[in-house]
Structures are given as structure tokens and as C-alpha cells.
Amino acid sequence: MSVREYDVVFVGGGLAASLLLKELRKELPGRVAVVDPSPLPTQPSVHWSYWSHERTPYDRFAIGAWQRAKVGDMPPESIAPYTMSLVRSGDVFADLAARLESAPVDWLRTSARSIGSRDDGMYEVSTDAGVLRACWVFDSACDIGPAFPTPHRPGAVLNGTGIRVTSDRPAFDAATATLFDPLDERSFAYLLPLGPDEALLESATFGPVAEKTDAAPLLRYLMDRYPGASFVAPHEESGSIPLGFPPLRTAGPRHVLLGTKRGLVKPSAGYGIVRIVKESEELARLWREHRPLAPSRRDSRPWALLDTGFLQLVGKDPRLPLALLGNVMRAVPLARSLGFIDEQLPPRQLASIFLSALPIVLQSAVRK
């Protein structure tokens, strides 16, 4: 097989790799390659929702933003200082692709098979098109060793389905997002209104494995919640997000994990696109300052214990994590719930949240 040498190889060219490439495009060494069979512009566009208490690079692509929300049938409330936003991934990817168009990068449309270290300090990436050798490897490919999630620690999957709907009459409060409304014992819906007669409605289900989902429960939800209105769903999307713990060891100190594989997708919070952009900025800062880059990311002990417990609940009974989230989000102000999920709350505010979660923890203990 052919062998090519680079200074830096990115294994996986998704969001995390592209954000880091954007941050480093003026500091990149002379030979850089990205290994990914699906370049950014070819990836299907889906909706990403996120909340943040400060501005993010995604905000200019937002097709909706809300500072008021409600949980199920509860009254709306302010979520200040947070803002909930919605973007299309295709808009973000198109912008990143345009910014990187002139970057000195070889885009290799192939699949990587393995990453290993060599005795001379270089790394070797085996691909379907040949072997690549590099001084640095940035790795966001979850299915290549070391794999994500770490096999010997608890893991789960967040399955989701989304539909973009229009109504034949005004049906939605355009200023209020619905963030947690149970569909059944295992799944919940959240509705982000784009106007009085248009909305994005998504469902989420925790489970031990990826599951096939469909839009029928969401359409039934709309008919129950908004009787008298008729809806059409011109757009449907679905996917699964792996949840678990990142590998703590890689092939060496310059084999650096990115994105989900780095641990930026939290079991208790789902897809962390805000975390990914912040980590990209931090890694780029360390690179410019010629400081070591930690190959993986480790949580502080309290949050690691929280994530372990959450994943263990999924393994025992997929209904338990849903019940836990429901208890927490109904027991405390919504802004505090978002801060807790985002790991931003100070210790003095955690007591009321832990008390609301205690019944589910005790219920889990009884089921042992």
C-alpha cells in the first residue's frame, strides 16, 4: 500500500475537526490531511438546538431563539440568563467549508481503519486508500480504537426523531419553547416554535442500544395538544447519539481526541455543540502557545459520578432516566435545571436538585 507523510492528520472531518481546523488555519503546518468519506457539504442537514448564557459562533445561523420556556403543562417561565437557539447543521457546515476552502489541507475521501504509534515517535493511520504517517493525529472517529464509549464503563444511546411541521391555523406560542413533555414512559418531546403556525418537534428516548424511531408518536402528540388544527410534516430527521465515557488513553501524547470521542457529549445533556466549540478554542490556544494538549478530557469527580449513575439507570430501566429528568425539571426553576445539566451550578444550589432526584435513585435501588 502507498505511504504518505503529513505533519497533522485529522481522522474524521465532522464538526469538531472542522472547528479546530478553522481556529488553526493560519497556524497549520505545511502538510495536513483530513480523512473522512463524507465531506461537510455532502452530510445531510439536521436541526441542532442548544442553550447558552453567552454568545456562540452558531448564533448567526439561528432560525429561532427563545428566552422563555415551559416544561410540559407547567406555566411558561424565563430561562434567563440562558437563551435557547435552533440552527440547521447544513448552514454551519456550509460556512465552515467556505472558510476552509483555501486552507492547505488534503481532503481524503476514504475511511480510516486503525491508528497506531511507531518507534520513531510518528503515528500511522491505516486507511482504505493507503497508509498515512503523521507527527500529530486529531481523532474524532468513534468506531476506531480507542473506541467511544469506553467498553468497560457504562454506556447508552440517545435516540431521536424530529419533524418540521406547519399548521393550517395559528397553533403555537412563538415566544415559548416546550423543553420536556413526556410522550410515554420512555420518551419525551420538545417543541421549538418558528412562528404561530410552524415548529420543530423532536422526541428523545434513552436506551441501551440504537433504536429505529418514527414520526407517528409526534403527529399524535400534535393532535392531542392542539385539537382542531391540521398539520403537515414536510421534513423528517432521525439519529442516535452514543453516550458514555471517553477513552483515557490514546496511541500517544500527540494522538488527541476531539468531539464526542473526547467526552464533549454528556450522558445527562446530549449533544454538546457549545462544549465542542469551546474545547476547539481551548485546544487552539494551547497549540499557539506550544503547550501540551491533553489527549482526552476528564470530568471532575462529582459530574463523573452523576453521569455514571445516569447511565446505570438507563441500563436498569430506560424509564428511570426520563422520570429523573422530569422530577428535576419540575422541582426547580427551569433556568436552574439548565444550569445543572450544563454543569454550571454552584454547589450551594445543588441540594434541591439532588432531593428531587432522590425518589428515582431509591426506586432504582429497590429494583436491584
- Residue-wise pLDDT for 280-334, tens only, equals 999 999 999 999 999 998 777 777 877 888 888 888 888 888 887 877 777 788 8
Would you state the cell numbers that stand for residue 276, as one nine-digit string?
465542542
Under DSSP, the state recorded for 103 is S
pLDDT confidence of residue 225? 93
Q: Name every residue whose Cβ is closer than 8 Å to that of residue 216 and which is 6 or more positions away in sequence.
A: none
**Tens digits of per-residue pLDDT, 43-74?**
788 999 999 999 999 999 999 999 999 988 88
Looking at the chain, which runs of residues are DSSP E strands? 3-11, 32-35, 47-52, 64-66, 68-71, 77-78, 83-88, 105-108, 112-117, 123-127, 130-139, 156-167, 177-182, 187-195, 198-207, 231-243, 255-257
83 pLDDT exceeds 60? yes
pLDDT the model gives residue 365: 46
- Per-residue pLDDT of 226-263, as tens digits, reads 999 999 999 999 988 889 899 989 999 999 999 999 98
Distance CA 340, CA 125 (A): 39
CA–CA separation, 262 and 122 (whole Å): 21
Enter the pTM of the model.
Answer: 0.90
Q: What is the pLDDT of residue 366?
A: 47
- For the stretch 184-207, pLDDT in tens is 888 899 999 999 999 999 998 888
Q: What is the pLDDT of residue 96?
A: 93
Between 348 and 98, residue with greater pLDDT: 98
User: 277: closest CA among 19, 35, 65?
Assistant: 19
Contact 356, 332 (CB under 8 A): yes
